[in-house]
Structure 1
Amino acid sequence: YSPHQFKSIYYARLDGQTKPAPHYLIDALFKKISYPNIEGFINLDRFGTLNNENVFLDISIIIINFSELQNEQNISYRLTCGQAVFSGSLNAQTAHNYTLQ
């Protein structure tokens, strides 16, 4: 059972080396703390051209918590786009949803 101790010092393998373990790691091992297994998926739904200038891209974003008995709150994601503009960012009523805050 972990954690393991030798001469009153707890050790852990970090970066391919055996080093004295940091306190937070020993605390987590004693308490058997685990973190949620959360995965995200992006699916391309539609892609096309509206006219000779504009291209549209519709995607779905799915976030799944695969952990048993563990719930994570306030999950967020960020989607960035280079050399393009999200159409909603041009609408004054929805532009606040597209800021990098």
Structure 2
Amino acid sequence: MGFESEFYLLKSALREGKEEWFSFDTTPYCSASAFDAAFPVLHEVVAALQSLNIAVEQLHAEAGKGQFELALGYTLCSNAADNLIFTREVVRSVARKHGLLATFMPK
């Protein structure tokens, strides 16, 4: 079994003294330019997952603004479930380290 995890990277900005979250970028679906600004975050995510022996089969920009997808390698069902949880925690932690919010909630 393997999972695909889609997530949004959001950045914050103050608007009228209130924090609001906006899409990290505005590139179109599967655009290679989406990786330009997000490269430090995505590279660190993939490296962290590899250090946990979690295979990343594919990483690409998705249809939403600031949305990315990680496709994980196939493994036993119990390992796949663990890999999904570790992947989400890694993505959130690395994004937070870079001042971003990663959310797996659909828009």
Q: TM-score range by the shorter chain?
A: under 0.3
Larger relative contact order (Cα-Cα within 8 Å, sequence gap ≥ 6): 2
Bigger-Rg structure (1/2): 1
Higher relative helix content: 2
